[in-house]
Amino acid sequence: MTNAALVGIDFGKLDFEASLQELDLLTQSAGARPVVTITGRRHSPDAKLFIGSGKAEELREAIAEFDVELVIFNHALTPGQQRNLEHLLQRRVVDRTSLILDIFAQRAKSHEGKLQVELAQLQYLSTRLVRAWTHLERQKGGIGLRGPGETQLETDRRLLGERVKSLKIRLEKLQRQHDTQRRARQRSGTMSISLVGYTNAGKSTLFNAMTKANAYAADQLFATLDTTSRRVYLGDVGNIVLSDTVGFIRELPHQLVAAFRATLEETVHADMLLHVVDASSQVRKEQMAEVNAVLAEIDAADIPQILVWNKIDAVPELAAQGPRIERDEAGRVTRVFLSARTGHGLDLLREAIGEAVVAGTGGLQSQHEAPDVRLIDRWDDVSRAEDR
């Protein structure tokens, strides 16, 4: 396993420690072993090395001491910063965007998922051609590929552009197929509900519990990349279609949001969203904000949603209170507290969904108009929040 050094610079954000812990999990998810973490504080990134010469020297010493083969930054690096760091450190350097793309490349299983990941990777590599894109020459021999007067860099750019164009055409064809399936579902009057949430919030576990499916679920980041849909029977309400989607994460690369737009179409065209929140996370408020930011980016911010606070069994105070439905002053469902792992509270979620379906989702709020719904920042405030 590759030894990796993690680098994180605190620019004054409140969730710096949580972001570093997340980087550690991302690194392990990618198959590397974090052996040392270098941190520092700055007002702004250094233009040449991002971390400044003094911190770069500290990093170089740590690389020698811990036999580091890979350096991972918890930030987005410019192509110039990445090249300068690799020249100085004599090690491969990747940033947060590249790390997430690598994990996606490992996890993509469906044909569509693989196409989307490749498109995102090529769009990312397009700014790093001088260093990164040489595999085509090795793959096809190079000779006979160049046009008149083309340098190797120009050839690489042309081949990359042709491949990106080809991938976009294939993804557009798949999207048209999805649109056809979606219109057929709408004609049948079947309601569509999508699970959304931060990565590792428990969406796939909840999906399996609700549908009796066997979708892959694991305690790791980005366990799910491909959208899976199943019909669920809700008694008097009848059938609905429930979809499990890719999880979101802070600083999700824009290339991925764009490339995965076909996958995220299930979210955009859903009648209702179940926003799954990891109730045991100390930064759940920030995670919810990140999810809502991505929903806004894909034009899904106005879709009515129910907050599903999952993993209450991992929080003693919430476990003691048990599963429950929380409503606002108008009697509309705002939150459902449950544990997808144990199954406690699933009946309440079905009840809340059925109530919303009967009301035509008019009894729910979109995240644009929803109030703070009394986000609880300290667990010793839970009982007081319930008494208000």
* Alpha carbons 105 and 86: distance in angstroms, whole number: 23
Output the CA torsion sign for 236, 237, 239, 240. Answer: negative
- 211 annotated to bind ligand: no
Q: Mark out the alpha helices in 126-225 (DSSP H runs).
A: 129-132, 135-140, 152-187, 203-211
Q: What are phi and psi of 73, to 5 degrees?
A: -95, 140
Residue 224 labeled ligand binder = yes
Which residues fall within 8 angstroms of residue 113, CB to CB, at 6 or more apart?
225, 226, 263
The pair phi, psi for residue 386, each rounded to 5°, is -70, -25
Phi and psi at 134, nearest 5°, equal: -125, -5
The reply to whether 197 sits in an annotated binding site is: yes
Query: Is 311 marked within a binding site?
Result: yes
Beta bridge partners of 296: none
271 is in an annotated binding site: no
Give the type of residue at 27.
T
247 is in an annotated binding site: yes
Residue 354 assigned ligand-binding role: no
Q: Does the annotation place 380 within a ligand binding site?
A: no
Known binding residue 226? Answer is: yes
H or E element, residue 295: helix 284-297
Q: Is 203 annotated for ligand binding?
A: yes
Q: Over the Cα atoms of the chain, what is R_g?
A: 23
Beta bridge partners of 310: 278
Is residue 109 part of an annotated ligand binding site?
no
114 annotated ligand binder: no
Ligand-binding site membership of 216 (annotated): no
> Is position 225 annotated in a ligand binding site?
yes
Q: Determine contact, residues 354/237, Cβ cutoff 8 Å.
A: yes
Instruction: Find out whether 204 is annotated in a ligand binding site.
Output: yes
Residue 97 marked ligand-binding: no
Binding residues for Mg(2+): 204, 224
Binding residues for GTP: 197-204, 222-226, 244-247, 310-313, 339-341
Binding residues: 197-204, 222-226, 244-247, 310-313, 339-341
